Amino acid sequence: MNTLGRLALCLAAVGAIALLSATGPAQEESLPAPGPPTRTPEQMQKEKSLVAFAKVASVLRHPRCMNCHPSGDRPHVGNDRHLHGMNVQRGPEDHGVPGLYCSACHRTENQAVPNIPGAPHWQLAPPSMGWEGLDDHDLAAMLIDKNRNGNRSLEDLLHHMRVDALVLWGWQAGSGRSNPPLSHEGFIRALKDWFTTGAALPPKGATTF
Ligand code: HEC
Ligand code: HEC
């Protein structure tokens, strides 16, 4: 190759590099601008709703509530949620079997010696209200399903959570029994937030604690 030829090759190579570097940034510019993706007001409301539900679920899944809302036929006991001793069973109306009704041992208030929890109308939540084993989606859906929640509207549910003796007991559970992670007030606030943002259902399969 003569000098001129080499020079031509060299110039061609420089040209190619220039071309490459020119097309690089041009391509990038056509990509969407970096930064947080824009969300519609509906999406933002749904996100808020899901955050509120996660707080609600943290209380529902606490042993103080879950021990009485099992999917099986026996109550659970303690912070480790072991099966209730003495082979206690839910019975046909969720308050025990003849000879071993809940009220044989559980009174309308906690007893210190022996340490037996108590509150008015102490009994197991019916099977339709069994939360054990549900993922977040099913737990949320169950809670607002009138066919399973005792025919309660959202307003009724809020009322139940505000005043029901068994719910309130969760925050006065007696010695050695921990409280749910939110205060009762905080729980009611989270519940309200979930409802007023449309009671969004979490995606299937996820379980938060
Ligand atoms: C001693 C047992 C017991 C404990 C403890 C208990 N529950 Fe219940 N729960 C019940 C029973 C029984 C019902 C059904 C009462 C009814 O329908 O009137 C019920 C119903 C409910 C309902 C309405 C139906 C549903 O599942 O949507 C909600 C909500 C509820 N409980 C929340 C709670 C929360 C929150 C806690 C803990 C802070 C709790 N419960 C602790 C026994 C219990
Ligand atoms: C023979 C007496 C007896 C009967 C009957 C009985 N319980 Fe209990 N229950 C106890 C005692 C004692 C404890 C406390 C055990 C402990 O803390 O280790 C207890 C604890 C519990 C707890 C645990 C609360 C918590 O969060 O730790 C639940 C829930 C419960 N009982 C529900 C019921 C239900 C519902 C019935 C009726 C279907 C029932 N029990 C029948 C004696 C009884």
Distance of CA 121 to the CA centre of its chain: 27
Is the Cα dihedral 57, 60, 64, 68 positive or negative? negative
Global pTM reads: 0.87
Total Cβ atoms within 10 A of residue 22: 9
Q: Minimum-distance ligand to the CA of 76?
A: 2
Q: How many CA atoms lie within 13 A of 107 on its CB side?
A: 9
| Probe residue for ligand 1, chosen from 68, 163, 178, 195 as the CB with the greatest number of ligand atoms within 8 Å | 68
For the chain of 209 residues, list the mean pLDDT of each consecutive stretch of 10: 48 45 50 75 96 97 98 96 96 96 97 96 97 96 97 98 98 96 98 98 89
Ligand 2 centroid to residue 67 C-alpha, Å: 9
| Probe residue for ligand 1, chosen from 129, 171, 178 as the CB with the greatest number of ligand atoms within 8 Å | 129
Ligand 1 centroid to residue 189 C-alpha, Å: 18
pLDDT of residue 33: 67
Ligand 2 centroid to residue 126 C-alpha, Å: 16
Ligand 1 atom closest to the CA of 102, numbered from 1: 1
Which among 142, 177, 121, 122 has a CA at the least distance from the CA of 56? 142
Tell me if 173 sits within 8 A of 179, measured CB to CB. yes
Name residues contacting ligand 2 (CB within 6 A): 63-64, 67-68, 75, 77-78, 84, 86, 88, 90, 95-96, 100, 102, 104-106, 114-117, 123-124, 177
Q: CA-based angle 89:91:95, to the nearest 5?
A: 90
Ligand 2 centroid to residue 38 C-alpha, Å: 52
pLDDT of residue 167: 98
Ligand 1 centroid to residue 98 C-alpha, Å: 23
The structure tokens listed for 170 are 């969760």
Integer angstrom CA distances of residue 133 from 6, 20, 53, 63, 188: 76, 57, 17, 13, 23
